[in-house]
Structure 1
Amino acid sequence: MFSSFDPTPLTLTTPPELRPYGWTTTDLWCAPLITGLYALLTHAQPFWADLHVLVVSIFWGHFNDRGSKPTIEAVDPEVARAICTLVLIGMFATRAVKNFAGPLVPSIVAVPGTPVKASSSEPHSKNKSGKAKIQ
């Protein structure tokens, strides 16, 4: 809020999370997502166990012939932690590439609503006579 990470003097500014597209900040939504994923995998409460059965049934169609709900076992807490860690690594690696890729990946760095410019790297430059000179 006070722009303490900027090299300028402290001024009152709008936090990045409250600016346009601030809701896309990884730090803002990774905590509830990972908490829900861990609860889903470990069946922390009965709701999460039922939701786990629903998700598995939707994606893999594990309904039996009689149409009753299948029983899905909870994942071991250590395995659930490892899965959540891998998801977090993927999320923060994606954020790092998006924020620091520079001109290497122009389609990822583009701000929504702005056109992406193609790089104009020319392997040949022209001299005064108009002939191409190979560099």
Structure 2
Amino acid sequence: MRGTVLSFSIQANQGFISGDDGKRYNFVGSDWNLSNTPTQGVKVDFDVDGNRATSIYEDPSAAVSNQTIKSRTTTGILALLLGGLGVHFFYLGAWGWGLVSILLSWTYIPLIAGLIMGARYLSITDKEFENKIKKMQGPFGTIEL
């Protein structure tokens, strides 16, 4: 069956999935077969055992919709032109790094980093760019030059 993760509590090690059949299923962390932590909105494929979801995997047909596709060119141009204010970070969803860039903008460090990152984004392949932005998920994701 397919569905969408509604919530997951790390402390309780359990969560809920809304199935495409309109029912809710609970699950525990040991049923999660993905390398990342369950997050709200992730599309999954799972088996059902009563009201429990088991053998949970990412839905391969929804892999593209789980991530917003960002343009490598747009990101590169934003980094080159507005990198001193961290606009490219906000565009990629790493708003934490965007705020850090704004706070440090008077030092010109974000400007220099933006120029380097912009040139790098424009010179790499789309596949390399996808790999980089996957690591930059969340407000303070890993930044790679």
Please indicate the TM-score interval, normalised by the length of the shorter structure: under 0.3
Determine which structure has greater relative contact order: mean sequence separation of CA pairs < 8 Å that are 6+ residues apart, divided by chain length. Answer: 2
Tell me the TM-score normalized by structure 2: 0.24
- Between structure 1 and structure 2, the one with the greater Rg is 1
Q: Which has the higher strand share?
A: 2
TM-score, normalisation: structure 1:
0.25
